[in-house]
């Protein structure tokens, strides 16, 4: 993942992890993934948070105001090299979003400690992706985004996205001699829904996106 040519020749501008690189999906498989920042905000807005201790570690009992279901989020701190920090004091939880406007070496995470923050955005922060933090896996259906060259050449893998989760489309890898790539469309002739390269979408079902091309102007000398 890279958003800056300073860090490498391949710049993909992705804002979210591909599902195959998602730690929850890699370890638990099937339909599991890491949460978005908005999903943590939902917990904040629609649950009660009670600081407690379970199995010798502090954390929050998070209980739904709607159906009464609850879970325990441990304040497990974080790991760096061979050590652990802030165990039973802070909870650090990775999100699936990257810091595209800051550095590709970082990613966003969500944090808490024994006293609730005053504002929602106080929970959000970012740091180097080499830190070991807790993963709160969430379960979701997936949509498959298939890319069609539509007269162009090359290959692109399908992109797997969690349904209802906002993610950026991957970079176009197709080429067409004498034409410039202008974006994607759900119809080959451009009569359907248009999408820009790297556009953030919120898929509800499988999609096939067709590359759209514009002929290069002829230069008369």
Token pair in block for residue 217? 């102007």
Q: What is the pTM of this model?
A: 0.71
Question: If pLDDT is split at 50, 70 and 90, which confidence band does 221 have?
Answer: low
- pLDDT, residue 162, reads 82
Mean pLDDT across the stretch 143-160? 93
Mean pLDDT across the stretch 32-37? 87
Whether 186 has a pLDDT exceeding 80, the answer reads yes
Sort 204 into a burial class: Cβ within 10 Å, 0-12 / 13-18 / 19+.
Answer: exposed
Instruction: Give the chain's mean pLDDT.
Output: 89
Token pair in block for residue 126? 């970012």
CA distance 201 to 183: 14
Q: Residue with structure tokens 């949509």?
A: 143
Count Cα neighbours of 127 within 13 Å in the Cβ-side half-sphere. Answer: 15
CA distance from start to end of the chain: 42
- pLDDT, residue 47, reads 95
Neighbours of 15 (CB within 10 A): 18
Whether 8 has a pLDDT exceeding 80, the answer reads no
Q: What 3-state class would DSSP assign to 92?
A: strand
Q: CA dist 107 to 13, 104, 114, 128, 220, Å?
A: 13, 8, 24, 6, 49
Whether 77 has a pLDDT exceeding 90, the answer reads yes
- pLDDT, residue 73, reads 96
Whether 120 has a pLDDT exceeding 90, the answer reads no
Mean pLDDT across the stretch 29-51? 88
Name the H helices within 33-129. Answer: 37-46
* Pick from 204, 176, 179, 182: nearest CA to 195: 182
Q: Residue with structure tokens 């509800």?
A: 204
What residues contact 4, with CB distance under 8 A and at least 6 apart? 11, 103, 104
**Residue with more model confidence, 207 or 129:** 207
pLDDT (tens digit per residue) in 43-64? 989 999 999 999 999 999 999 9
Whether 175 has a pLDDT exceeding 90, the answer reads yes
Phi, psi dihedral angles at 132 (to 5 degrees)? -95, 115
């Amino acid at each position: 993942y890279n958003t800056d040519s300073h860090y490498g020749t391949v710049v993909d501008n992705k804002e979210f992890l591909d599902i195959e690189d998602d730690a929850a999906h890699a370890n638990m498989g099937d339909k599991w993934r890491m949460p978005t920042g908005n999903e943590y905000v939902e917990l904040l807005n629609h649950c009660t948070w009670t600081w407690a201790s379970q199995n010798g570690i502090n954390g929050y009992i998070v209980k739904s105001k709607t159906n009464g279901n609850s879970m325990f989020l441990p304040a497990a701190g974080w790991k760096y090299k061979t050590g652990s920090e802030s165990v039973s004091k802070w909870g650090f939880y990775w999100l699936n979003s990257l810091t595209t406007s800051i550095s590709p070496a970082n990613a966003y995470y969500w944090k808490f400690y024994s006293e609730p923050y005053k504002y929602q955005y106080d929970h959000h922060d970012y740091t180097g992706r080499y830190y070991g933090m807790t993963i709160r896996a969430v379960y979701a259906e997936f949509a498959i985004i298939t890319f069609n060259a539509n007269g162009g050449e090359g290959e692109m893998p399908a992109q797997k996205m969690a349904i209802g989760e906002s993610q950026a489309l991957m970079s176009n890898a197709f080429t067409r001699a004498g034409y410039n790539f202008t974006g994607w469309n759900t119809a080959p002739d451009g009569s359907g829904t248009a999408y820009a390269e790297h556009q953030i979408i919120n898929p509800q079902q499988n999609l096939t996106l067709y590359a759209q091309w514009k002929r290069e102007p002829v230069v008369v000398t």
